[in-house]
Amino acid sequence: MTKLSRPRQFLYLCLALVVALGTGCERKSPDPDPAEIPTLEPVGPLGAIDPLQETATLAIWNRGSTLLEQALVSREDLHQSLESLLENPTEETLNDAQEAWRGSHADWHRLDPLLALADSNPGLFPRLQRRIFNIDAHPLQPGYIDYVEAYPYSGIVNDISLTINASTLRAQHGLTDAGDVALGFHALEFLLWGEHGQRDANDFTVTRETTSEQRSAGFNIADLPNNRRRDMLLLLSHLLRDDLNGLTSRWQDRDGWLHGTYHQLHPAARAQLWKNASQHYLEQAQQHVHNLNRDSGHSPFAAHTLASLAAGLIELKTLLSEEETSLLPWFSDAEFAQQWLEALSATIILIEANINAERELSEEVHKQLLEALGDLSDQYAAAQEEVL
């Protein structure tokens, strides 16, 4: 591979910024005031701004804004399907709601290569992790949300000491453990599919009367599981909209901490951030495949891990192959870039061919997927090391 010169201080800048701002992330801490956004001073001379690199790094950020807006649109489609389900709970309306969830979930995961900034650079983006946790926390403890076979009266749905409202769900989310999931796509996933992926539409039918046993136990109609489940389903959709809106506004707000932190960086530093984020995303994708058919899988109830993974990898390919956003010219030669993108395309094809078989993925295919993603990650990392 031909080595392209790249000053080491680009990498040192990013590392120094991470150290300066801290590597920890407080999940419960509030967003900083815009006036408190740190001014990021370079630790060494970075040279003149490369106008092409400037354009690419700005275009990537703008692409994130577009994808967030699309995620909001598909969330609205999901919400309409949920309303139809609650208005007329049938297997057909439940299936429609499930398909709408899949579409909205996939649109969200198109952002994965960009949102990998949160975990790959937590010192620079300490609040981004929390916002992602509110939207896409996984894996979850299913009995924390609703009944499971071994515990038919478990979960927030069945705990009448907890009022189904926004304050309750936000307080319960991540209360004692990351698996205490009460918000986001995967709380909705469990309500729509249930423990074994076979939710009965009757679970969303309005219960209009209490039994004598229920009345003697102090239950009123609003306390009954079906009614609480209905309330929780719709509320989760509203809160998902709020959280997506919040992230979008902070991504777009020129005076906000997220937008400001990124845009005051030198374009070379931004490029290094994206390269690190892409590397982290590839490693994370491999881990998602490793966890398939396990309780720790990304979407075990809806069996939607491969579809969401394909969405993210397709977006990564778009980011790296389109001239406006591609950063490949800054860390690899043209021959490597072409070969790597071809390998990425082949991996996407392999994933898409097995999306419908996710619940019963063969060991051979599972191995092929792991090896393909591992090779992509290793080759990507090697290309960066060549120019440091």
pLDDT in tens, 88-126: 999 999 999 999 999 999 999 999 999 999 999 988 888
Evaluate whether 279 touches 381 at the Cβ level (below 8 Å).
yes
Per-residue pLDDT tens digits for 322-339: 888 888 887 788 888 899
Q: Is the pLDDT of residue 366 over 60?
A: yes
Q: Give the whole-angstrom CA distance, residue 332 versus residue 121.
A: 22
- Our CA angle for 175, 179, 183, nearest 5°, is 70
The predicted pLDDT at position 387 comes to: 52
The predicted pLDDT at position 40 comes to: 45
Evaluate whether 54 touches 267 at the Cβ level (below 8 Å).
yes
The Cβ of residue 20 has, within 10 Å, a number of other Cβ atoms equal to: 13
Q: Is the pLDDT of residue 384 over 60?
A: yes
For residue 218, name the pLDDT band (cuts at 50, 70, 90).
confident
The residue behind tokens 């952002």 is: 111
Q: Give the whole-angstrom CA distance, residue 301 versus residue 328.
A: 37
For residue 154, name the pLDDT band (cuts at 50, 70, 90).
very high
For residue 141, name the pLDDT band (cuts at 50, 70, 90).
very high
For residue 225, name the pLDDT band (cuts at 50, 70, 90).
very high
Distances (CA, A) of 361 to 224, 272, 291, 316, 355: 38, 36, 12, 24, 9
Structure token pair of residue 26 = 């407080």
60 against 46, higher pLDDT: 60
* Nearest CA among 278, 261, 366 for reference residue 36: 261
Q: Is the pLDDT of residue 316 over 70?
A: yes
The predicted pLDDT at position 212 comes to: 80
Q: Give the whole-angstrom CA distance, residue 275 versus residue 269.
A: 10
Distances (CA, A) of 265 to 59, 131, 230, 326: 15, 22, 46, 18
Q: What is the mean pLDDT of residues 54-78?
A: 97
**Stated pTM of the model:** 0.87
Per-residue pLDDT tens digits for 248-294: 999 999 988 999 999 999 999 999 999 999 999 999 999 999 998 77
Distances (CA, A) of 105 to 108, 135, 297, 310, 374: 5, 10, 15, 12, 24
The predicted pLDDT at position 126 comes to: 83
Q: What is the mean pLDDT of residues 303-310?
A: 96
Could you confirm whether domain 8-25+53-386 is CATH 3.90.1580.10? Answer: no
When mean pLDDT is compared across 129-143, 206-220, 268-282, the lowest value belongs to 206-220
Domain ranges of the chain: 8-25+53-386
For residue 190, name the pLDDT band (cuts at 50, 70, 90).
very high
Q: Is the pLDDT of residue 35 over 70?
A: no
Q: Is the pLDDT of residue 179 over 50?
A: yes
Q: Give the whole-angstrom CA distance, residue 97 versus residue 85.
A: 7
The predicted pLDDT at position 263 comes to: 94
Q: In terms of C-beta density within 10 A (0-12 exposed, 13-18 middle, 19 or more buried), how is residue 349 classed?
A: exposed
For residue 8, name the pLDDT band (cuts at 50, 70, 90).
very low
- Our CA angle for 70, 72, 75, nearest 5°, is 110
The residue behind tokens 């419960």 is: 28
Q: Is the pLDDT of residue 25 over 50?
A: no
Structure token pair of residue 101 = 């969830």
Q: What is the mean pLDDT of residues 21-47?
A: 43
Average pLDDT in the chain: 87
Percent of the chain residues topping a pLDDT of 70: 87
The angle that helices 267-290 and 51-87 make with each other, rounded to 10 degrees, is 40
When mean pLDDT is compared across 68-77, 118-127, 155-164, 188-197, the lowest value belongs to 118-127
The angle that helices 51-87 and 91-109 make with each other, rounded to 10 degrees, is 170
